Amino acid sequence: MKRTFWKEAVVYQIYPRSFQDSNGDGIGDLQGILARLDYLQKLGVTVVWLSPVYKSPNDDNGYDISDYEDIMDEFGTLRDWEELLAGLHERGIKLMMDLVINHSSDEHVWFVESRSSKDNPYRDYYIWRPGGPDGALPNNWSSIFSGPAWEQDETTGEYYLHLFSRKQPDLNWENPRLREALYKMMAFWLDKGVDGLRMDVINLISKVEGLPSVQHEDLAPGELAGGGEYYMNGPRVHEYLQEMNREVLSKYDVMTVGETPGATVEDAILYTDEDRHELQMVFQFEHMDVDSGPGGKWNVVSWTLKGLRDILHKWQVGLADKGWNSLYLNNHDQPRMVSRFGDDGKYRVQSAKMLATLLHTLKGTPYIYQGEEIGMTNVKFPALEDYKDIEILNMYREKVTEGGTDHDTILQAIHSKGRDNARTPMQWNASSNAGFTTGTPWLKLNPRYTEINVEQALADPDSVFYYYQELIRLRKQHPIMVYGEYELLLPEHEYIYAYTRTLDDEKWLILLNFGDTPQTVELTDELNAVTGTIISNYPEEPAAMDRSTLRPYEARVCRIG
């Protein structure tokens, strides 16, 4: 397998709004990030992925871009951004920018022009349709942020498509002029020295011709339905990505990861097979659905290790020879991993380290989301008013205010799945507002900041932080962690995820206990062959005779043979 920097990378995601405020307006900014670069260097990460910092009215916190070639006022200026890039590069860290090109903001000049008349030269930059008879919508698709995916525009009376909020109109990729404009914009950033691109919902850019309505016998007339089958991994998506690769990506040494909800292993191979010249890896979502019931994300059900492992295993095997995996358990759209897959109470530290071990020893590129490295947890705000995320607020309106679902049920779902779990400000220390801002934070802090914060983590040699630092150090030292072949053991164990990695004549055994009680593993041959422990989240080595027992949330990486 070809060795590349992006396979060896460890990526750290920054959600700039919540990372570090430098000017007291309660919103994180670029100068704030600059002040924390030494921290990132100490952790050892090799790439920083910045969630969007472009000009935006912030309907969806920057995922609605009104100017692709300038910086959001709250975050600073292009000069601050250049300083940040230089600061990262000085420390040997690469910069990956977020690229949001399935849609723009409705305040982007392209859309302002586009909506102004039917014959405006920018009309075709977006997806416009007349309404149906009797005021019907152009089709029955629902928006991912609730309600219909169509908004009628007063000026021309036509509707535009928005798969996300009505302030995020979808761009029309069928239009070659639009594509060219986007490629030019990408080159603008790559020429400035950007090293990587994370492409927001990139598998939604090609819609099925005719935008057909979802047909289903249970649908009442006028009822909305998902529609994903008509726009996820659509008919021309590979053609577009190959064109983008030819026109832009191939001209730079750039790392790429596509966000691809609904992509299967087979789709991912098409996106990431090196011979196809599209992307290097994708963020798949299957494992993020292990605790969703038939009603979707907000229909929270309990997950099992078997469910989670079967999915991760399928992806490990599926992309073993062609393509490459990204490894993540949380990000700015997902709840905190320690609350979701570990234990954010008694075993917070142990379980955060165990999950970290998984992320750094599966085959693929690990992505750390800010605060994960100190074991930050979900938050349970008591009132809806404490939440700011448009997805949460729209969903609440649809389900409770208009739909009559009980408030407590939905609040509980928000507590376990809401995106604001990940967006509470970074916890730097135990002082007021956790050192995030001297002003009023745009989103309340998680009250646990007095106990869980960076200052505390740096002062404690057994902290989650130092465990991450060690995993990253090991990864840089041992190619087996990046390139070693993965093989599953104990596929039916209720609590233990066990596997080996093998590279040439080196072999490692990884044992992870996802349970809060001791668990026994029957792996006599492997355990007898253990010649040393590489890393573990429990301080003392188990005595030889006890090796087959894993303590609550224990993680052990051993060399065998």
Binding site residues, ligand NOJ, CB under 6 A: 60, 63, 100, 164, 200-201, 259, 332-333
- Structure tokens belonging to residue 41: 């260097």
CB neighbours (10 Å) of residue 317?
A: 14
Cα–Cα nearest to 53, from 32, 70, 33: 70
Residue 201 CB, shortest distance to ligand NOJ, in Å, is 5
Q: Which two tokens stand for residue 143?
A: 């928006």
Write down the catalytic residue from 21, 200, 286, 372.
200
Among residues 153 and 333, whose Cβ is nearest to ligand NOJ? 333
Q: Residue 100 or 555: which CB sits closer to ligand NOJ? A: 100
* CB closer to ligand NOJ, 100 vs 255: 100
For 248-262, the three-class secondary structure string (H helix, E strand, C coil) is CHHHCCCEEEEECCC
Nearer to ligand NOJ, 201 or 496 (CB): 201
Measured from the CB atom, the residue of 103 and 353 that comes closer to ligand NOJ is: 103
Is 200 one of the catalytic residues?
Answer: yes
Measured between alpha carbons, how far is 121 from 212 in angstroms, rounded to an integer?
26
Show Cβ contacts of residue 100 under 8 Å, excluding neighbours closer than 6 positions.
Answer: 52, 54, 62, 63, 64, 65, 200
The CB-of-390 to ligand NOJ minimum distance in angstroms stands at: 8
**Residue 333 or 526: which CB sits closer to ligand NOJ?**
333
Q: Determine whether 532 is exposed, middle or buried from the number of CB atoms within 10 Å of its CB (0-12, 13-18, 19+).
A: exposed
As measured in angstroms, the least distance from the Cβ of 169 to ligand NOJ is 12
Question: Which residue in the shown chain puts its C-beta closest to ligand NOJ?
Answer: 63
Between 257 and 457, name the residue whose CB sits nearer to ligand NOJ.
257
Spatial separation of the C-alpha atoms in residues 335 and 377, rounded to whole Å: 8
Q: Which of 40, 312, 52, 80 is nearest to 199 (CA)?
A: 52
Told to judge if 492 belongs to the known catalytic residues of this protein, a careful annotator would answer no
Least spacing, CB of residue 48 vs ligand NOJ, in Å: 16
H helices of 101-174, where? 109-114
Least Å distance, CB 268 to ligand NOJ, is: 17
Q: Please, what is the minimum distance in Å from the beta carbon of residue 198 to ligand NOJ?
A: 9
Q: Which is nearer to ligand NOJ, 370 or 453 (CB)?
A: 370
190 vs 201, beta carbon nearer ligand NOJ: 201
* Minimal distance, residue 144 CB to ligand NOJ, in Å: 7
d(CA 379, CA 335): 9
Burial class (CB in 10 A: 0-12, 13-18, 19+), 216: exposed
**Which positions ≥6 away from 79 have C-beta within 8 Å?**
none
Give me the helices (H) in 478-531, please.
479-483, 524-528
Query: Minimal distance in Å, beta carbon 526 to ligand NOJ?
Result: 39
Least Cβ distance, residue 450 to ligand NOJ (angstroms): 29
CA–CA dist 354, 149 (Å, integer): 41
Q: How many residues does the chain have?
A: 561
Catalytic, out of 29, 60, 151, 259: 259
Instruction: Please provide the DSSP assignment of 296-351 as one string.
Output: EEEEE----HHHHHHHHHHHHHHTSSSS-BEE-S--TTS--HHHHHS-SSTTHHHH
Tell me the H-state helices in 398-506. Answer: 407-417, 420-423, 454-459, 464-477, 479-483
The angle at the Cα of 532, spanning 527 to 536, to the nearest 5 degrees, equals 90
Please name which of 557, 552, 525 lies closest in space to residue 541, comparing C-alpha atoms.
557
Residues belonging to the active site = 200, 259
